[in-house]
Amino acid sequence: MSYAPILFDLDGTLIDSLADLTTALNLLRGELNLSPVTIPAVRACVGDGATLLVRRVLGDDLFSPSHLQRFLTLYSEHLAEETTLYPGIRTCLDRFSDRPLAVVTNKPYQLTMDLLHALDLNRYFAVVIGGDSCPVKKPDPTPIKVALHRLDATAAGAIMIGDHHTDLKSGQAAGLDVCFCTWGFGDDGGCKPNHRVDNATELLQVLL
């Protein structure tokens, strides 16, 4: 099906950002005299925005708004040191650059924009919705509905692509078809996506 518009999650879908997220989290933990965490441990905590990420990594007893802000500062300083696009993603974006594309992520908007610019991805997307762009985050459908509104589009013929059940639930609640990317950080949470892809080549075929 020739989907349009095409909405993408960011982390775990377009980019592998785990190494830089882990660096920032471990710098924060070091400042708090805590031992470092591993990349697999961070992977299990990603997907619901920065607040829950920091809360999960520090624990409820240590979490505070000031620690969240410190993490965001540290992450901004190490934003694109090791972060890379997944194989074939740029080819996929080039192929569909004539269609309306958007990013809908739970990552804070400014960090999202800084990262898109650093990786030369910003030119592909007409609309970018961050985790603080709306009063609520995915899995609520509001961020996707806002993206569609800004694209002057409807849910009919649109698709949401992501690696986490928050992406699938958000897309389904907004009335879109959804595609689950198995290469990312998350799981489908028992959702039943319209499509399931293991690499960018398969994603390309879904979107043609």
CA gap 101, 93 in Å, rounded = 9
- 101 bridge partner residues: 6
Same domain as 129, residue 66: no
- Sign of the Cα torsion 83, 104, 181, 42 reads positive
Q: 171 and 73 in one domain?
A: no
Beta bridge partners of 103: 8, 128
The verdict on whether 9 is a catalytic residue reads yes
Are 89 and 192 members of one domain? yes
Query: Looking at residue 186, what is its pLDDT?
Result: 87
pTM of structure? 0.94
Catalytic member of 9, 20, 48, 188: 9
Identify which of 141, 142, 82, 77 has the alpha carbon closest to the alpha carbon of residue 111: 77
Digit-coded pLDDT (tens) for 85-129 = 999 999 999 999 999 999 999 999 999 999 999 999 999 999 999
What residue numbers bound the domain in which 47 lies? 18-77
Instruction: Tell me: do 90 and 171 sit in the same domain.
Output: yes
- Whether residue 183 sits in one domain with residue 91: yes
